[in-house]
Structures are given as structure tokens and as C-alpha cells.
Amino acid sequence: MLKHNNFDSRQSNTSSVGVLDLPFLLLVVLLTLVGVLMMFSASYARARWETENPAYFFVRQAGFAALGILIALIAGRLNYFIWYRLSLGILIVSLFLLILVPIAGVEVNGAKRWIQLGPIQFQPSEIAKLGLVLAFASMMAVWQDKMNSFRYGVAPFAVIMVLIAGLLYLERHLSATLIILMIGAMMMLIGGTQKRWFILGGLVVAVFLVAYVMLFGYASDRVKAWLDPWSDALGKGYQAIQSQNAIGSGGFLGLGLGRSRQKYLYLPEEHNDYIFAIVCEELGFVGAVGILLLFSLLILRGYWISIHARDRFGTLVAAGLTTKLALQVFFNIGVVSGLLPPTGISLPFFSYGGTALLLQLFEMGIILSISRWCVNKESIGGKKA
């Protein structure tokens, strides 16, 4: 466990606690509600086909959404210092789970990235992202004055990222690997790592990406299908074509809520990774821009909370979790719109998946917790730099 000589009774003092950040909370709740509604519309046909109950996915997702909002409110009431104490433990558990995936993981759609624990199925990579954010923030809070050295500012963080990336490599989960590396790099930049190391890191990542595409045929096929989906319109390019058809048919105002045509089993993963295509088809350009605006406001508010956090640990955690959210939104919408090759990243608050939604809302609760504490007070890692 990391130790710091500033740890004393002030860290558990609740006399300076404020209220939850209302704009951030309202944006989270609004996006969750809109996401559940759109998931219901997108999943209607598939749920009826697979279960004969059109509301099957909706009922499950709505239940997880209600529980997730409650968890976010509870997490928001906790002193976020508790996550400092648990940070390394969460990272170690996530690494252990990543090791288990190739051994005892569950295969879904040809990829083994999930672990099944009774009725619960989840991706350890999502826990690894949270563990990385918390662990990096804890280490950077303690080593604040040493981050400009290689020993403290580069080596330990590089080892952790390479270890996680290596385990994700076994899953062939390129998108999660990229997000892990980008979150880590962003936190190192904020934490004080010297900028020259980012040039070397960027070159290493570029070489890795080229080698990854060349070694794994499926990755190369995805890139080819992305560049020219019509070259294999009924195979690798089918999903991209149907997604673009959905977006294009929505026009300016959309076909209307519930009136999508592509969701009738034409577009694969219409209620999961490609749900934003259904959003565009039903709500049109106006609705899609409205949802992007809500995401933008939430991300900006998250960074605002980070900037105004009372200490270095809070700043780094809020910035890391907000960056994680921003990257997942960017990657998902980039894939759906054809800007990026398929990556397998879901859209936060919208894509179907109960455990993923619970974790997303829990992370928003941590940011809410940071927002409750008065700024510029001495705490974990001392005053902010």
C-alpha cells in the first residue's frame, strides 16, 4: 500500500463536504434514460425474434439502469479517499481476471473477452481500465515531486500498461488496448512525466499497431472492410454498409421514434455496438446532434470537476474517468459512422449490457464524490500543483 506523510484525520473529515454536482448528475441521469429508451426501440425486433418478448432486453436494461443510478448516488456520498486505499487492490484483481480470460473465458461472437460468474457476464478489460485510472492517480499523488524522473515518472506506469496490453493482446482486443494506452498516456502527461517520453511511446505504439494488423488476419480484414466495405458487401463489409444505410435514411429529422427499418434484423448488433446508427435513423441529424451535445456537456463537466478537485488524486481520477468516457464515445461513434474501422467498443449508457452500465454509472458516482469536496484543500498528495 502506498503511504504518504500527509495522511491524517483531515482525509476523513466531512465538515467541508458539499452537495453533489447537480449539472453532472442530471446529465448522467438524462443520458441513461434516453439510452434505455433507445435501446428498447433498437432491440424490439430482435427481442421478439429471439425470446418472443419484445420488452425482454428493455426490462433487463431498465432494471440495471435503476440499480446503477442508485449505485452512483451511493458512490457519490462516499469519501473518494476510499478508492485511494483500494486502488492497487482493484488493479491486481483486474489483472488476475485478465489472466483468467484465455483460460476460462466465455466466447461471444467469435471473441473470448468475457468471464461468466453465475448469471453475471462481464469483460475484465472494463475493470482493468478503472483499476489503471485509480492506481495511476494514487501513484502520481504520492510521487508528485518525482514524476520528472524515469524511475518514478515513466518506468512503473509503462510496466503496468505493457502488462495490461499484453493480456489484452491474448484476447485480440485491440480497441481496449488502445484505450488503456491513451488513458495512461493522458494521466502521465497531467501527472508530470516529461514530454520527450511520449515521442518514444508513440513510436512504440505505432510499431505495435502495424505488427498487430499484419500478424492477425481478422484485424487486416477489418481494415480492408472499413476502407472498401462494398468489396465484400455480404461478408466483412455488411455491417458497415447497413450502418451507413441506417444513418443516411434518417435524414434531418429522422423516421420517428420506433420506426427504424434497419433494426428488423438487417443491422447486426443494432441494440449493442451499433445502436447509434438506429438513433440516427429514428431521430435524424437533429436527434443525433442532441445526444452528442449531451455527451459533450457531460465530458466538459467532468473535466471541470477535475480542474476544481481539492487535491491531486481527485484531479487525476476525475480526468482519467472522464477521458475513458470520451474515448469510448469517440471510438463507438467513429466506427458506426465509418470514420474508424470496427473496434468492438460499446456506446456508454446506450448499448445493451447490464454489468457494463453498472460499472459506467459507478464511475460517474466516483466523479460525483470528487465534486462534493471543497476545492483547494490539503489532502491526498498534498495541494494540487
Q: Is residue 381 part of a domain?
A: no
Q: Is residue 309 part of a domain?
A: yes
Q: Is residue 178 part of a domain?
A: yes
List pLDDT tens digits, range 187-214.
999 999 888 888 888 887 777 777 766 6
Cα 98 from Cα 103, distance rounded (Å): 9
Domains contained in the chain, number = 1
pLDDT score for 119: 79
pLDDT score for 381: 54
List pLDDT tens digits, range 239-275.
999 999 999 999 999 999 999 999 999 999 999 999 9
Q: What is the mean pLDDT of residues 359-384?
A: 75
How would residue 16 be classed by pLDDT, with cut points 50, 70 and 90?
Answer: low
Q: Say if residue 366's pLDDT is above 90.
A: yes
Q: Say if residue 73's pLDDT is above 60.
A: yes
Q: Is residue 154 part of a domain?
A: yes
Q: Is residue 94 part of a domain?
A: yes
Q: Is residue 213 part of a domain?
A: yes
What is the pLDDT of the chain when averaged over all its residues?
87
Q: Is residue 145 part of a domain?
A: yes
Identify whether the C-beta of residue 45 lies closer than 8 Å to the C-beta of residue 260: no
Question: 184 φ, ψ to 5°?
Answer: -60, -45
pLDDT score for 214: 65
Q: Is residue 13 part of a domain?
A: no
Cα 179 from Cα 344, distance rounded (Å): 12
Domain of residue 92: give its range.
80-345
